[in-house]
């Protein structure tokens, strides 16, 4: 049989390597930024267009390259950073594999301009899909500029796999954070579609963190310092009271490089034990410096997973160091945090006997009668009970009047309102601060308060969108909310929809905050900043949803604003919720397709007693 094995041509080998190194535009950003750092740059500029799909450009004022080096840099396994295999265990640079530029040039249009301090003229090189299409002398500043255009132009499957611009930008920003955080001595600027996202001067590590994550971060940081023979630890953890439920800011850097390590993460979590609820996630910015001979960086092409020689020792030292810092800065444990104060018996009632509920029957009672005093009362009360989050106004022009109308027509089918017996009163009570129990015709109804309210709010917001006649209330004192650059990018996409909903929000001239001048009638003023920030967080990694219109927006708002399980509801608010739920077009399911209530039929109850 003839021989069948042959060596792959370089451009094919490069494309294969690219599959590992370049997953998305953010991978290009990481490689180019790291090259600029390795070149000793003191100023680095990152420019992206359309989430990096159209352009990723990095401009540095580092060493630059000679003509020959410029040409060689795009060859596979071409590197200036190591000579021998042993060098792998004494790495001082970010790169060493010599494959990033070759990989990138195999799957994009690359344009490089570079000049060293010794040369008077520089070199310009254009490469498309591993092929050099132009090389000429050029007048360029000292340093290197590499632009990468039309990523994956020759691999449509990969290109189609990319997410929306917004999501890709979010990944790029993540990479930018990682590199910028651990190189505070380097100045960085970052532009997206012509707008400046970051402009970071040379500064301290702490200043860099604050610059990136906003000034409120400053008072939240607790320094961590520890020096042992195995490792030097320095950096900050965020005070436990500012921990978030979402992953948030978690950064480990080993020998100047961002790394991921669930093992070390666990050690930090263990140090926070007893200081915050278990579902909260600690935030941290921790630098670990170990002897380069005791760390293996070459276990993964992207170099974010590394292997430490003495992981167990590291775990223990890190945990102790974080614990020590938290203790030193007087962060006292939150004792018994599972204890729900709402469940305490008020002091005055502690020794009183339980009294059986009295039942008074009003035979004329009809909750669905528009002018029923009860109806009017819970209209008022429900708003109070839900902290005014959702006001049902009696105003005939209000969108909500249509719900009441539906409810009035549908009600008799569900509730036995004409039957003048005890059962006709659809009295409610709350179970486990989670369910509203009520009686219908021939069954017991158990309603999940959170899901039910989500449904009510969801339909309310959808109608508001459709009819465009939302009521806003102007704030007496407009609230300014500071946002990080990332939050601002996401927020910009959300703004038109928010304003259509009755918000009046503008960006300030400073560019790092927004001013809320008016809010929808259905919200309260108190938690506006929390609401906006929580809302943005929902979109952080799900950028495509930003554009997916009103339905998603209504869902998201209803999720954020619905009364939560665990919240005590007054009887009036319970009744209002029941009525509002059955005034909905689709009361059975929450907007997220979960059951809002279950029924226990009379005969099922009977059967249980057989």
Judged by CB under 6 A, the residue of 21, 101, 286, 456 near ligand ADP is: 101
In 3D space, the residue among 130, 75, 129, 100 whose CA is nearest the CA of residue 18 turns out to be 100
Judged by CB under 6 A, the residue of 17, 28, 29, 39 near ligand ADP is: 39
Neighbours of 397 (CB within 10 A): 9
Asked if 525 contacts 519 with a C-beta cutoff of 8 angstroms, the reply is: yes
- How many CA atoms are closer than 13 Å to the CA of 151, on its beta-carbon side? 33
Asked if 306 contacts 295 with a C-beta cutoff of 8 angstroms, the reply is: yes
Look up residue 557 and give its two tokens: 């708002």
Q: Which stretch binds ligand ADP (CB under 6 A): 89-97, 165-173, 230-238, 353-361?
A: 89-97
186 binds, among ligand ADP, Mg ion, none (CB under 5 to 8 A by kind): none
Judged by CB under 6 A, the residue of 14, 63, 113, 454 near ligand ADP is: 63
Distances (CA, A) of 235 to 56, 276, 319, 380, 444: 31, 20, 13, 52, 57
207 in the Ramachandran plot: left (φ > 0), alpha (ψ -120 to 50) or beta?
Answer: alpha
Show contacts with Mg ion in window 15-44 (CB under 5 A). Answer: 35
Confirm or reject binding of residue 62 to Mg ion (CB under 5 A).
Answer: no
Confirm or reject binding of residue 555 to ligand ADP (CB under 6 A).
Answer: no
Confirm or reject binding of residue 484 to ligand ADP (CB under 6 A).
Answer: no
Find the shortest distance in angstroms from Cβ 190 to ligand ADP: 16
Show contacts with ligand ADP in window 309-368 (CB under 6 A). Answer: none
Judged by CB under 6 A, the residue of 14, 27, 79, 173 near ligand ADP is: 79
Judged by CB under 6 A, the residue of 35, 186, 382, 449 near ligand ADP is: 35
391 binds, among Mg ion, ligand ADP, none (CB under 5 to 8 A by kind): none
Confirm or reject binding of residue 553 to Mg ion (CB under 5 A).
Answer: no
Q: Which stretch binds ligand ADP (CB under 6 A): 33-41, 168-176, 436-444, 493-501?
A: 33-41
Find the shortest distance in angstroms from Cβ 192 to Mg ion: 23
Calpha distance 254→242 (Å, rounded): 25
Confirm or reject binding of residue 303 to ligand ADP (CB under 6 A).
Answer: no
Show contacts with ligand ADP in window 139-178 (CB under 6 A). Answer: 144
Confirm or reject binding of residue 591 to ligand ADP (CB under 6 A).
Answer: no
Nearer to ligand ADP, 298 or 560 (CB): 298
Find the shortest distance in angstroms from Cβ 99 to ligand ADP: 6
Q: Which stretch binds ligand ADP (CB under 6 A): 57-65, 128-136, 495-503, 537-545?
A: 57-65
Asked if 60 contacts 115 with a C-beta cutoff of 8 angstroms, the reply is: no
Distances (CA, A) of 432 to 342, 387, 482: 12, 20, 38
Residues 6 or more apart whose Cβ sits within 8 Å of residue 493: 166, 539, 543, 546, 547
Secondary structure E strands in 139-210: 143-149, 187-192, 195-200
Confirm or reject binding of residue 424 to ligand ADP (CB under 6 A).
Answer: no
167 binds, among ligand ADP, Mg ion, none (CB under 5 to 8 A by kind): none
Judged by CB under 5 A, the residue of 95, 122, 235, 367 near Mg ion is: 95
Find the shortest distance in angstroms from Cβ 465 to ligand ADP: 49
φ, ψ for residue 513 (rounded to 5)? -155, 165
Residues 6 or more apart whose Cβ sits within 8 Å of residue 174: 26
Residue in the block written with tokens 């554009």: 547
Q: Which stretch binds ligand ADP (CB under 6 A): 34-42, 147-155, 166-174, 601-609?
A: 34-42
Judged by CB under 5 A, the residue of 46, 47, 48, 100 near Mg ion is: 100
Q: Which stretch binds ligand ADP (CB under 6 A): 73-81, 211-219, 562-570, 600-608?
A: 73-81
Nearer to Mg ion, 93 or 417 (CB): 93
Look up residue 263 and give its two tokens: 């093992």
Find the shortest distance in angstroms from Cβ 80 to Mg ion: 10
- How many CA atoms are closer than 13 Å to the CA of 529, on its beta-carbon side? 9
Judged by CB under 6 A, the residue of 52, 60, 167, 572 near ligand ADP is: 60
81 binds, among ligand ADP, Mg ion, none (CB under 5 to 8 A by kind): ligand ADP
Chain Cα centroid distance, residue 128:
36
Residues 6 or more apart whose Cβ sits within 8 Å of residue 32: 46, 56, 58, 100, 146, 148
187 binds, among ligand ADP, Mg ion, none (CB under 5 to 8 A by kind): none
* H/E segment holding residue 169: helix 165-182
> Long-range CB contacts (< 8 A, 24+ apart) of 386-394?
386/453, 386/563, 386/569, 386/573, 387/524, 388/524, 389/522, 389/523, 389/524, 389/561, 389/563, 390/453, 390/456, 390/457, 390/460, 390/522, 390/561, 391/521, 391/522, 392/576, 392/580, 393/521
In 3D space, the residue among 366, 233, 215, 356 whose CA is nearest the CA of residue 287 turns out to be 233
User: In this structure, what is the dihedral angle of CA atoms 275, 284, 174, 262, given to the nearest 10 degrees?
Assistant: -80
Confirm or reject binding of residue 80 to ligand ADP (CB under 6 A).
Answer: yes
In 3D space, the residue among 482, 488, 475 whose CA is nearest the CA of residue 526 turns out to be 475
Nearer to ligand ADP, 176 or 272 (CB): 176
Calpha distance 8→177 (Å, rounded): 37
Look up residue 358 and give its two tokens: 């009295």
Query: Edge-to-edge, what's the strand order for the sheet holding 221-227?
Result: 221-227, 232-238, 284-289, 250-254, 257-259
Judged by CB under 6 A, the residue of 31, 61, 391, 572 near ligand ADP is: 31
Confirm or reject binding of residue 73 to Mg ion (CB under 5 A).
Answer: no
Find the shortest distance in angstroms from Cβ 46 to ligand ADP: 12
Nearer to ligand ADP, 22 or 575 (CB): 22
Judged by CB under 6 A, the residue of 56, 96, 166, 254 near ligand ADP is: 96
Nearer to Mg ion, 257 or 379 (CB): 257
Find the shortest distance in angstroms from Cβ 63 to Mg ion: 13
Nearer to ligand ADP, 144 or 164 (CB): 144
Closest chain position to ligand ADP (CB): 95
- The two beta strands, 284-289 and 232-238, are antiparallel
Judged by CB under 6 A, the residue of 22, 29, 36, 182 near ligand ADP is: 36
- For Mg ion, the binding residues (CB under 5 A) are 35, 95, 100
- For ligand ADP, the binding residues (CB under 6 A) are 31, 35-36, 39, 60, 62-65, 73, 78-81, 95-102, 144
């Amino acid at each position: 049989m003839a021989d069948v094995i042959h060596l792959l041509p370089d451009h094919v080998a490069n494309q294969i390597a690219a599959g590992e190194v370049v997953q998305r535009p953010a991978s290009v950003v990481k490689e180019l930024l790291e090259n600029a750092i390795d070149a000793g740059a003191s100023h680095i500029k990152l420019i992206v267009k359309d989430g990096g799909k159209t352009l990723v450009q990095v401009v540095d004022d580092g060493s630059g390259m000679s003509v020959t080096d410029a040409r060689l840099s795009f060859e596979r396994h071409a590197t200036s950073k190591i000579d021998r295999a042993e060098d792998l265990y004494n790495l001082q640079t970010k790169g060493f594999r010599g494959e990033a530029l070759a990989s990138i040039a195999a799957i994009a249009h690359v344009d490089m301009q570079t000049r060293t301090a010794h040369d008077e003229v520089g070199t310009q090189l254009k490469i498309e899909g591993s092929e050099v299409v132009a090389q000429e002398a050029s007048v360029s500043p000292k340093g290197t500029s590499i632009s990468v255009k039309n990523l994956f132009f020759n691999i449509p499957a990969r290109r189609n796999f990319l997410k929306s611009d917004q999501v890709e930008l979010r990944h790029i920003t993540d990479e930018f954070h990682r590199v910028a955080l651990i190189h505070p001595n380097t100045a960085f600027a970052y532009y997206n579609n012509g707008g400046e996202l970051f402009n970071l001067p040379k500064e301290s590590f702490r200043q860099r963190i604050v610059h990136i994550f906003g000034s409120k971060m400053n008072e939240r940081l607790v320094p961590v310092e520890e020096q042992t023979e195995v490792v030097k630890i320095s950096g900050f953890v965020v005070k436990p009271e500012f921990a978030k439920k979402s992953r948030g800011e978690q950064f480990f850097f080993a020998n100047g490089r961002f790394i991921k390590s669930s093992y070390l993460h666990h050690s930090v979590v263990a140090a926070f034990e007893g200081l915050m609820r278990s579902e909260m996630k600690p935030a941290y910015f921790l630098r670990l410096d170990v002897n380069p001979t005791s760390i293996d960086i070459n276990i993964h092409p992207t170099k974010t997973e590394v292997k430490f020689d003495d992981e167990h020792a590291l775990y223990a030292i890190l945990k102790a160091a974080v614990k020590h810092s938290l203790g030193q800065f007087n962060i006292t444990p939150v004792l018994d945090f599972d204890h729900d104060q709402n469940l305490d018996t008020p002091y005055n009632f502690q020794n009183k006997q339980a009294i059986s509920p009295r039942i008074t029957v009003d035979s004329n009672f009809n909750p669905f009668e528009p002018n029923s005093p009860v109806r009017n009362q819970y209209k008022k009360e429900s708003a109070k009970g839900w902290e005014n989050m959702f006001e049902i106004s009696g105003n005939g022009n209000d969108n909500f009047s249509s719900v009441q109308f539906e409810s009035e027509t549908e009600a008799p089918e569900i509730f036995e309102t004409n039957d003048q017996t005890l059962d006709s009163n659809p009295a409610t009570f709350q179970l486990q601060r989670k369910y509203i129990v009520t009686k219908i015709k021939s069954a017991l109804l158990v309603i999940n308060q959170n899901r039910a309210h989500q449904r009510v709010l969801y339909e309310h917001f959808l109608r508001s969108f459709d009819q465009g006649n939302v009521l806003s209330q102007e704030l007496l004192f407009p609230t300014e909310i500071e946002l990080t650059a990332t939050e601002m990018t996401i927020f910009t996409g959300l703004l038109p929809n928010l304003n259509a909903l009755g918000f009046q929000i503008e960006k300030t001239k400073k560019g790092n905050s927004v001013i809320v001048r008016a809010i929808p009638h259905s919200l309260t003023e108190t938690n506006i900043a929390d609401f906006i920030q929580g809302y943005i967080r929902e979109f952080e990694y799900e950028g495509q949803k930003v554009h997916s219109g009103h339905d998603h927006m209504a869902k998201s708002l209803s999720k954020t604003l619905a009364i939560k399980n665990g919240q005590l509801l007054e009887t009036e608010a319970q009744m209002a919720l029941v009525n509002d739920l059955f005034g909905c077009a689709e009361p059975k399911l929450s907007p997220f397709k979960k059951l809002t209530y279950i029924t226990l039929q009379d005969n099922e109850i009977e059967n249980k007693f057989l």
